[in-house]
């Protein structure tokens, strides 16, 4: 784990050194609990931090930047992800 942003206790954001690829979003971020000798789900993958890269065309810097994967994976705490699922399910239920 690289960093934790807990400024919003309802949506703790976790940063991990690792690349995110298409299809990873929504997947689990696991941790190994040494006392229980088992994996636990810590968070859910949201995406990655974008970074800008300079573009070189024919050896010359182009007047633009390209957004690239920074190598920092972003996840939300499991409790935040579960609340989002529950809220979504409530919205989809017909009202009486």
The boundaries of the domain holding residue 25 are: 3-92
Confidence check: pLDDT of 78 > 80: yes
Note whether 72 and 2 are within 8 A (CB): yes
What pLDDT is recorded for position 67?
76
Domain total of the chain: 1
Residue 96 pLDDT level (bands cut at 50, 70, 90): low
Enumerate residues 6+ apart whose C-beta is below 8 A from 7. none
Average pLDDT over residues 75-82: 86
What pLDDT is recorded for position 25?
86
Average pLDDT over residues 50-76: 80
User: Any idea which residue has 């990873």 for tokens?
Assistant: 24
Note whether 41 and 78 are within 8 A (CB): yes
Measured CA to CA in angstroms, residue 81 lies from 60, 61, 66, 93 at distances of 45, 41, 30, 19
């Amino acid at each position: 784990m690289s960093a934790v942003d807990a400024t919003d206790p309802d949506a703790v954001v976790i940063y991990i050194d690792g690349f995110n690829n298409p299809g990873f979003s929504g997947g689990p971020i696991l941790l190994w609990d040494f006392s229980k000798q088992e994996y636990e789900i810590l968070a859910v993958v949201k995406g990655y931090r974008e970074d800008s890269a300079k573009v070189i065309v024919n050896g010359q810097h182009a007047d633009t930047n390209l957004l690239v994967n920074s190598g920092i994976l972003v996840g939300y705490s499991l409790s935040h992800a579960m609340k989002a699922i529950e809220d979504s399910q409530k919205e989809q239920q017909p009202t009486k």
